Amino acid sequence: MTGIDEIETRVAKLLAEHDPASTGTVEFLRARFDAGLAWVHFPVGLGGLGLARELQNHVNSLLAAAGAPDTDGGRNPIGLGMAAPTILAYGTEEQQKRYLRPLFTCEEIWCQLFSEPGAGSDLAGVATRAVRDGDDWVVNGQKVWTSGAQNARFAILLARSDPDAVKHAGLSYFLCDMTDPGVDVRPLRQITGEAEFNEVFLTDVRIPDANRLGAVGQGWEVANATLMSERVAIGGIAIPREGGMIGPVSRTWRERPELRDPELHVRLLNLWVEAEVARLTGARLRQKLAAGRPGPEGSALKLTFARLAQQLSGLELELLGEDGLRYGDWTLRRPEKVDMIGRDAGYRYLRAKGNSIEGGTSEVLRNIVGERVLGLPPEPRGDKGIPWKDLPR
């Protein structure tokens, strides 16, 4: 039986036993995971069938045609796009079996405790401390810019486990229960008026050693795998032609001819071509992923995504003139997910400003592309070989 034959047989069986019209979303997604149709390239028993990654598109198409519910990536982007591939790559069998299924069904939402007030772009400089105490680690510190922490049950956490080691070597990676005592989530209000980001304070939080992902001191390697997945998830998402930010700008151009002028037309055409190139590059990158884990190429795609989002949202405001100054809602809200396309132009313009910071700053991504993709000499670093505790902060 070929991979496609097996997929079609399993999808037919799933639909026969769980009619989408009468089966609840969570129940259906649990059955889909158990059938190996969550991520077909994952191993058998962990939501997959051990097949080629590109066959997932066939699964998704068959289920969509049947009207089946899908997992809500907008509610759990960090869990699905970052935690799942990292747990698969570095987790123990027990961790994989415990976390992957409720992560896929979105019964458990995840967030990311990486950035800190003094360690954002320089992530290896994190100061949050994890001190071993018997079978537990006691964690103290502050994290910031944590998307969705107010809704999260679990977090992927990077902490300093050995301050005597050089900064990249003294880190360990943990799975943190956000309901544990000592975890304090506080909202950060953004320029949009919303508070989708948070700062998180960790005070004597006890994390069992069984919730460590990877070896002690392997945190930088594990975190890099997470970040490579994140950049693909942000910049390489599958979209149709004129999907994403180019869509509303193109619709406005077609529907309101009185707003047009030649200079804006030329700018729109150039950005339309760039958006289509980025979309096709993303499709090629996803095909490459079938052969292994994400690499530094995802950084280039995320860099392009941020630039295009900001240029397109700016062009949309210029095109709309005074109408572009309208803003629908300044109410302090705690949204479950970001909806760039379903909101007005003013929101898109303001929210896009964060695209060049979240998921890796554009400055850092340019360094990654230069050094790891183009092979340029690395920037001089004055912190090599120096224990983290001796570095100025």
What string of DSSP letters covers 250-313? Answer: HHHHHH-GGG--HHHHHHHHHHHHHHHHHHHHHHHHHHHHTTSS--THHHHHHHHHHHHHHHHH
Q: What is the mean pLDDT of residues 333-359?
A: 82
Residues assigned a catalytic role: 230
What was the pLDDT predicted at 365? Answer: 80
The C-alpha atoms of residue 345 and residue 341 are separated, in whole angstroms, by 9
Tell me the C-alpha distance between 149 and 129, whole Å: 20
Residue count of the chain: 393
What's phi and psi for 221, nearest 5 deg? -65, -45
CB 49 within 8 A of CB 40: yes
Mean pLDDT for 248-260 is: 89
**Which pLDDT band, with edges at 50, 70 and 90, does 354 fall under?**
confident
3-state secondary structure string, 117-144? CCECCCHHHCCCEEEEECCEEEEEEEEE
What CATH number has the domain spanning 223-373? Answer: 1.20.140.10
pLDDT at 373: 81
Residue 66's Cα: distance from chain center in Å?
Answer: 28
Residue 144's identity, in one-letter code, is V
Q: At what angle do helices 262-289 and 219-235 cross, to 10 degrees?
A: 130
Partner residues linked to 199 by β-bridges:
144, 186
Residue 369 confidence class, pLDDT cut points 50, 70, 90:
confident
**Is the distance from CB of 249 to CB of 242 less than 8 angstroms?**
no
C-beta of residue 332 within 8 angstroms of C-beta of residue 193: yes
- Kindly state the average pLDDT of the residues 56-80: 91
Q: Is 87 or 262 the better-scoring residue by pLDDT?
A: 87
DSSP conformation letters of 191-225: TTS---EEEEEEEEEEEEGGGB-SSTT-HHHHHHH
Domain boundaries, the chain: 1-70, 223-373
CA nearest neighbour of 244 among 318, 339, 314: 339
* Amino acid letter for position 385: G
Query: How does 242-278 read in b/e, with b if 16+ C-beta sit within 10 Å?
Result: bebbbbbbbebbeeeeeeeeeeeeebbeebbebbeeb
239 pLDDT above the threshold of 80: no
200 pLDDT band, cuts 50/70/90, is very high
Does position 291 have pLDDT exceeding 80, yes or no?
no
Tokens of 264: 């804006």
Structure confidence at residue 287 (pLDDT) = 64
* 276 within 8 A of 241, measured Cβ to Cβ: yes
The stretch 330-352 carries a mean pLDDT of 80
Q: For 174-194, what is the mean pLDDT?
A: 93
Contact predicate 175/156, CB 8 Å:
yes
Cβ proximity of 146 and 153 under 8 Å: no
Percentage of the chain lying above the pLDDT 90 cut: 55
Q: Where are the beta strands (DSSP E) in 14-90?
A: none
